[in-house]
Amino acid sequence: MKRILIVGAGGQIGSELTTYLRKIYGASNVVATDVRECGKLAEGGPFEVLNALDAKAMSSVVERYKIDAIFNLVALLSAVGEKNPQTAWNINIGALMNALEVAREYGCALFTPSSIGAFGPTSPKDKTPQDTIMQPTTIYGVCKVTGELLGNYYFRRYGVDTRSVRFPGIISNVTLPGGGTTDYAVEIYYEAIKAGRFTCPVPGDVYMDMIYMPDALRACVELMEADPARLVHRNSFNLASMSFTPEIIYAEIRKRIPSFEMTYEIDPVKKAIAESWPNSLDDTCAREEWGWKPEWDLSRMTDDMLEVIREKYRSEVAV
């Protein structure tokens, strides 16, 4: 990768990936785009307002900046998507098809994240294999499976260098999530510092795979820089780091904040989605084909999350 376009840079992943890539490849070589103005991203390097559903506009940006790699991060997340499945399909697949066509036309590599949500209740729950039955019960998952198939099709049919990972729930101390089933695992840290209590929307015994944002960002780069000759799979690699329930993360926080309390107010939509997903993923293929290895576990992540969030609130109070 030399000149990179990020589509959907204003989201949870994109806002941090933009900064991460600019540090590696140089600020002028990473073009951030979003459907609306994003001041901070525009301050750090090239920024364009771009509707990912406008194929001509996407082509124009790729041509003007001589882009050779595209990160398509546009998506409505799981819980939000269930409120309006038609909109979720139109946005998620519309943006992907435009990115695939532009990548084909201009010879770009293309990264599009898939998700643990691509699996469904009929997939094996524990150590879910790389290649297994995938029958998701959400429009978000349907879009992700479709995206994986389209990525493989464009690689085999047109030679487009498509690559993807199935992200677990992503936990970040920088950008808040926006409508995902795993959002609770971010919100719980903020509420632990801010209020000392948290109301959890998913059952306390439901396991879900998670990953800390620094590992997620590193995985994106490592996969895109991997030797293509080693890649047996492309779209999409299981990615694993840690798996826990709300009760486990609650206990981890209480080790550091003994007064912290958690109660439950179950969201039936999030409950159904969470229970349909795997407990854990088998990421052997990612480890073998491009050397994936997580660096963060639950304990180390908890220390870092609480430290950073405390500092945020200290700064707000000081202001």
In the numeric block, the tokens 């790389």 are attached to 130
Distances (CA, A) of 188 to 87, 263, 279: 29, 11, 20
Cα gap 8→25, rounded to integer Å: 19
Chain position carrying tokens 């779209």:
235
Annotated catalytic residues are 140
Going 74 to 78 to 80 to 81, the CA torsion angle's sign is: positive
Please classify residue 35 by burial: count the beta carbons closer than 10 Å to its beta carbon, then call 0-12 exposed, 13-18 middle and 19+ buried.
middle
Q: Where are the beta strands (DSSP E) in 65-224?
A: 69-72, 109-111, 114-115, 162-163, 165-167, 169-171, 197-200, 208-212
**Token digits for 228?**
């293509």
For the CA atoms of 156, 162, 163, 164, the dihedral, rounded to the nearest 10 degrees, stands at -100
